[in-house]
Amino acid sequence: MVFMEKIKKFTDRVQALPIEEKVYISKVLLGLLAAIIGSILVLIQFHTGIPFFAQGIAVGIGWALVPIHWAVCIYVLKIDLKKFGGSKFKILTTGIGAFLFTWLIIWTIWTTLWWVCVYGLPTF
C-alpha cells in the first residue's frame, strides 16, 4: 500500500507541472531511450561479430526519435500551443540540448564500461 501511495503522489506532482517542463522531462527520457537502444545495438554487434554498422543505425534511430516525439506531442497528445508559446517549433526545440547530452553521455559511459569489463583497461 505504501508503494501505491508513493506512485499516486508522484503522478499528482507530474500532473501539476507546466507543459513546458513535461516536454523537457520527456526529452530527457527520450535521450535515455536512445542511449539504451544504441547500447543494445552495439552490444549485439560486438557479441555476434556481424558488421551491420550498429553505431550508425543507433545514431539514425536516435535522431528519428526527435520528430516522432514532436508528432506525438502535437497530433496524439494534442498539446495546446497557446499554453506552449504558440509555436509547433518550440515543442521541437524545448529540451533538445538535454536530449543530446543525456543520449550521448549515457551511451558513451555504458559502452565504455562494457568495453572495460570485457577487454580490461587499455595499456599504452
What band does 120 get if pLDDT is binned at 50, 70 and 90?
Answer: confident
CB atoms within 10 A of CB 23: 21
d(CA 33, CA 58): 11
**SS3 category, 78:** coil
Q: Do the beta carbons of residue 59 and residue 37 sit within 8 Å? A: no
Q: Do the beta carbons of residue 118 and residue 49 sit within 8 Å? A: no
Pick the more confident residue, 33 or 43: 33
The reported pLDDT for the residue numbered 87 is: 81
Per-residue model confidence as pLDDT tens digits over 2-27: 888 888 888 888 888 888 888 899 99
Return the residue matching grid coordinates 536512445: 34
Q: Do the beta carbons of residue 14 and residue 22 sit within 8 Å? A: yes
The reported pLDDT for the residue numbered 91 is: 87
Per-residue model confidence as pLDDT tens digits over 35-91: 999 999 988 988 888 888 888 999 999 999 999 999 988 888 888 888 777 788 888
The reported pLDDT for the residue numbered 19 is: 84
d(CA 76, CA 96): 20
pTM for this one? Answer: 0.84
d(CA 35, CA 52): 18
Q: Do the beta carbons of residue 80 and residue 19 sit within 8 Å? A: yes
Q: Dihedral sign, CA of 12, 70, 45, 101?
A: negative
Element (H, E) at 4: helix 2-16
What band does 97 get if pLDDT is binned at 50, 70 and 90?
Answer: very high
